[in-house]
Structure 1
Amino acid sequence: MDAGHHPLDNPVWSALQGTHCGVAVGAGRALRYRPDISVFCGMADNHADSWADLADIAGDDGLVVIFRPGPIVEPGGWARLYSGNGNQMVLEGSPRSVPALATVDPQTGRAVSMRPLGECDVDEMVALVARTEPGPFLSRTVELGGYIGIFHGEVLVAMAGQRMRPEGYCEISAVCTDNSARRRGYASIVTAEVAAGIRARGETPFLNVRTDNTAALPVYSRLGFEVRAITSFAALRRPPH
């Protein structure tokens, strides 16, 4: 990032210029994640040259997804397909108020376990995301690392992991729990576990949660996350050539 700019003020751009440069596509003033890793794009700023470079790296369908604090104001000719807002939340200390993980689920009698997730778990991870819709998760998102899952027997019922890594920070993402395993504190447990791994690496955990996700906000607040900024996200289609 340029001097005087906080990495979390432009997290996608910061991550793709730094730690995640190996999975970045593009050049000039716009970059995007490799399309099998993540949907997000980043720009250096809101100048016309940045939007022109962004148009050059749009997919074959002309789509881009932008995610950053502050409003997104696209130039004329771009079509907005959907948009929304979220809370960017940062954990400055260690997680607190973390429930204990039971060894046996009292409702089902199944053994409960927690372990790191990897490529062999991708099918189950994709299926869990499809059922719970925490946000984008693609076939190779797991390669960004740090995913933790909770199992009932052999069935994955909750998970969280790492996504963007702007300088000095790491985003916790894909926090989700299957409907069959709710009200057991699993979202708090996996979030705290991922956060502890991030802090052990010397980075600060942060996450993004939609402003209308009223169930998740208290969970993260109890763990010690505090709102830093209001974020915007938008899916746009570039102007026709």
Structure 2
Amino acid sequence: MTHLLDNIIWHALSGTQRRYSVGTDRARRYSPGFSPIAGFIDPSQPDFNALRSYCEPGEHFYCDGWSGPAPPSWQIEAETTMFRMVWEGALPADDDFPQAIPLESEHALQALELATLTRPGPFGPRTIELGDYFGIFDNGHLVAMAGERMAAQTLREVSGVCTHPDYQGRGWARRLMLKLIRRQLQRGETPFLHVMSENHGAHRLYQRMGFRDYKESVVRVVAPD
């Protein structure tokens, strides 16, 4: 699986999740409405010309694995680094977490609102269609969630982990993650995730849970001029 993790975005968009993406044999993106992420067959030399016709004005895309100046007719709006982490822990103990309920299409707006507030990573109104998502509700309001985004063969990403600021400190995000990880391992999948390098608290938590650093890479937000 090593080569898949080296360019996981491309392997997800061109392989297992191809039906959720658009693009060419050199550059692809999640279809509009899903997470605004783009991948390239060669991330060190991304072919933005191949992606351009699949972009709408005002769209912004996350991509990783390349550095240097912006390509012609594109601009770099943000740049940082992130860790890609892969699970090496044991099967989590059984914890059904009965308060957590599966998120369905009727919860999409609430999921987007929570993600917009807490900023767990690129998220769109259809992102919860990419895998299993579970949430915690209080008086009908979604206050915590976690789910699955990228998939490439047996690799499965844990993503969208977030808790409303008024409900933090209760361990809900961790329990939601463990629920997903247990289900993934039981399906024969290998969990992985992404965390921004400056998010030291989350990084340490994921290490204690059983994830290890696979690589640290540049991540950028880009947009067509």
Q: TM-score, normalised by structure 2?
A: 0.88
Alignment counterpart, residue 136 of structure 1, candidates 79, 97, 122: 122
- Number of aligned residue pairs: 224
Alignment counterpart, residue 183 of structure 2, candidates 182, 197, 221: 197
- Tell me which residue corresponds to 1:45: 42
Does the CA-based 8 Å contact 1:158-1:176 persist in structure 2?
A: yes
Identity of matched residues, %: 33
**Given the superposition, is the C-alpha separation of residues 148 and 47 from structure 1 closer, same or farther in structure 2, using an over 3 Å criterion?**
closer
**Given the superposition, is the C-alpha separation of residues 73 and 201 from structure 1 closer, same or farther in structure 2, using an over 3 Å criterion?**
farther
Runs of 4+ in 1 over 4 A off after TM superposition: 46-49, 95-101
- C-alpha deviations, 1:29-52, integer Å up to 9, x for none? 111110101201111015768333
Matching of residue 122 in structure 1 with residue 118 in structure 2: no
3-state SS in 2 of match to 1:15: helix
Question: Aligned AA for 2:67?
Answer: I
**Given the superposition, is the C-alpha separation of residues 83 and 47 from structure 1 closer, same or farther in structure 2, using an over 3 Å criterion?**
closer
Does the CA-based 8 Å contact 2:46-2:66 persist in structure 1?
A: no
Does the CA-based 8 Å contact 2:130-2:149 persist in structure 1?
A: yes
3-state SS in 2 of match to 1:165: strand
Matching of residue 93 in structure 1 with residue 79 in structure 2: no
Shift of 1:27: 1.4
Does the CA-based 8 Å contact 1:72-1:233 persist in structure 2?
A: no
Does the CA-based 8 Å contact 1:98-1:223 persist in structure 2?
A: no
- Tell me which residue corresponds to 2:196: 210
- Please identify the structure whose Cα radius of gyration is greater: 1
- Tell me which residue corresponds to 1:107: none
Structure 1 unmatched runs, 5+: 102-111
Does the CA-based 8 Å contact 2:145-2:176 persist in structure 1?
A: yes
The aligned runs of 1:1-241 (5 Å cut-off) are 6-46=3-43, 50-61=47-58, 63=59, 65-68=61-64, 70-74=65-69, 76-77=71-72, 78-94=74-90, 96=92, 113-238=99-224
Q: Distance in 2 between matches of 1:48 and 1:90?
A: 25
Question: Aligned AA for 1:43?
Answer: F
Question: Aligned AA for 1:17?
Answer: S
Question: Aligned AA for 2:144?
Answer: A
- C-alpha deviations, 1:99-125, integer Å up to 9, x for none? 996xxxxxxxxxx81111111111221
Question: Aligned AA for 1:191?
Answer: M
Q: Distance in 1 between matches of 2:44 and 2:159?
A: 29
Q: Distance in 2 between matches of 1:16 and 1:125?
A: 22
- C-alpha deviations, 1:13-62, integer Å up to 9, x for none? 1001111111110113111110101201111015768333123333334x
Shift of 1:85: 0.9
**Given the superposition, is the C-alpha separation of residues 5 and 57 from structure 1 closer, same or farther in structure 2, using an over 3 Å criterion?**
farther
Question: Aligned AA for 1:157?
Answer: V
Q: TM-score, normalised by structure 1?
A: 0.83
Structure 2 unmatched runs, 5+: none
3-state SS in 2 of match to 1:25: strand
Does the CA-based 8 Å contact 2:67-2:218 persist in structure 1?
A: yes
CA RMSD in angstroms, aligned pairs only: 2.5
Shift of 1:5: 6.6
